[in-house]
Structure 1
């Protein structure tokens, strides 16, 4: 009996803390976008200086890309931008009906036309700028499904799921059920969005080049496109001046040869590189993009 009582007490405390955190996030997200970005940027600085591991990874990844493409690495600015991503996301989740007013999309009609294709549209994006806003450009016209990778900590995942909730976008986890729902969406001629620079699980990707380094890269979009004949488009949302919103950059994928997922992965990574280089500090360089999901060292 006392075990049951202890579990009940723990559950009540857990739910109470979770509700308080959600309430605080909702309250915080009501602030103007500029304020959220300032606060997020400040958090980014604190994390950068307080975590040697985080700082080392950001510096290493950014330095490698800067040496390759000969631009000056701005480490602190990249850390600030990483923090701003959190502020961007809170504002986007809270103001889903107002996001288009904060975006500059010169070719939106073309995007909607591509999305109206009976085979559907696959939208791929990296962790860059205000990437959370990308699926919202399609929702007024076409149903949109976004695949995401759940956070490792369940309470964080629950907070994100609750905060992201939208009547216009279906968010599905990257699991068997999520794959089924994504394929169904494409079969219905809808839009599917994937943040495609995440490292997939072992045997769910291929080795490809990203900023001249070997990166294990998802081949799931390639499989989707081959099976459904859906068009693939790459999109980034570059953050503009403080509180001014985002500018979209798009690039249509080239026709991809059958039975060549490595070609597709390299083509996607190359497209992401080109878009990231438009404003390098806005990429999430702290992400462990070059980790090996097999737990072994590659040659």
Structure 2
């Protein structure tokens, strides 16, 4: 019953206009901050770890704005799931760095698109498929009804979904070797013992995925950062280069460069990063949560 209720709420929220969804999300985020909810406490902890030189008043301001933006993201997502590709593309109001993906496609190589938890990543599939077929790695929900709904929402034309298991990794390799694009959220914490190494993220030790490093070593592909920032009335899609050392044969150097590439994106709009995610869990020195 609880799972069906969640599904009904998602479908109901998905009918909201974008502006109304953003207003509702901002209110939810503001309430999380005012009540010092769990998400607020994690957000404050992460910001304190990553912005040690920032005065306390500015950290509090960033935490408040971050929770408001996270609330907006959360309510926007079911709205974006219900909209057609044409609507999504119409609301990609600005583009930056699109020549990077055009040049990569012209080279005929596969491309790894790294999409951190910044802005609203759910918009990206509709814009990236303008450049060809893409396979996204995703974590299937435990609820079968919810998974069916999410898969139907995300699996649009020229979009494939690869589960986070061996079969999914095989799908990614196959797509890259065929000269296609794949999408990966690079700032997710892997399970211990499953493709992770500790590397610095904003100067803090964080268990980080080695999947991107392994794919770069196994395939001759390009790699780019991509994110969709929230702007008035829609989104700005940004594509940016990664740190050069992301291709280094040494796994720690490569993963450190991966994390630095994510940092560079976050610094563009720190309030729109998902700071309430427990990025520093599962590390050997102990989690700060």
The match for 1:9 is: none
Q: Aligned partners of 1:162, 1:142: CA distance in 2, in Å?
A: 19
- The equivalent position to 1:186 in structure 2, one of 154, 170, 176, is 176
Aligned counterpart, 2:86: 97
Shift of 1:150: 2.7
Give the 3 Å change call, closer, same or farther, for CA 249–183 of structure 1 in structure 2: closer
In the TM superposition, residue 268 of structure 1 has moved relative to its aligned partner by 1.4
- What do residues 87-129 of structure 1 show as CA deviations (whole Å, max 9, x unaligned)? 2322322222222222211332431331344330001121111
Is 1:138 the counterpart of 2:123? The answer is no
Shift of 1:147: 0.3
Q: Look at both structures and tell me which one has the larger radius of gyration over its CA atoms.
A: 1
Whole-angstrom CA distance in 1 between matches of 2:175 and 2:133 = 8
Conserved in 2, the CA contact under 8 Å of 1:33 and 1:87? no
SS of equivalent residue, structure 2 residue 13: helix
Deviations 1:52-107 (A, max 9, x none): 43221111111222324679222221111111112232232222222222221133
**Aligned partners of 1:112 and 1:141 also within 8 Å:** yes
CA 1:289–1:21 in structure 2 vs 1: closer, same or farther (change >3 Å)? closer
- The structure-2 alpha-carbon separation of the partners of 1:238 and 1:183, relative to structure 1 and needing over 3 Å to count, comes to same
Matches of 2:159 and 2:55, distance apart in 1? 39
- CA distance in 1: counterparts of 2:118 and 2:134, whole angstroms: 20
Aligned to 2:50: 65
1:171 equivalent in structure 2 = 161
- From 249, 260, 267, the counterpart of 1:277: 267
Q: Root-mean-square deviation (CA), in Å?
A: 2.6
Give 1:159 deviation, angstroms: 3.9
Does the aligned pair in 1 maintain the 2:246–2:256 contact within 8 Å?
Answer: no
The residue number in structure 2 matching 1:5 is none
Match of 2:204 among 213, 236, 239: 213
Cα distance between partner residues in 1 of 2:38 and 2:6: 27
Provide the C-alpha distance between the structure 2 equivalents of 1:271 and 1:69, rounded to a whole number of angstroms: 21
Rounded Cα–Cα distance in structure 2 between residues aligned with 1:48 and 1:155: 31
Structure 1 pair 286–153 and aligned structure 2 pair: CA distance change class (3 A): farther
CA distance in 2, matches of 1:112, 1:214: 35
Q: How far has the Cα of 1:263 moved from its partner?
A: 1.0
Shift of 1:239: 1.2
Match of 2:65 in 1: 77
Give the structure-2-normalised TM-score. 0.86
Give the TM-score of the pair, scaled to structure 1.
Answer: 0.83
Q: Give the aligned length.
A: 281
Query: Secondary structure in 1 aligned to 2:223?
Result: strand
Q: Residues 258 and 209 (structure 1 numbering): CA distance in 2 closer, same or farther, change over 3 Å?
A: closer
Report the equivalent of 2:223: 232
Displacement, 1:23? 5.1
Measure how far apart 1:276 and its partner are.
0.9
**Aligned residue number for residue 104 of structure 2:** 114
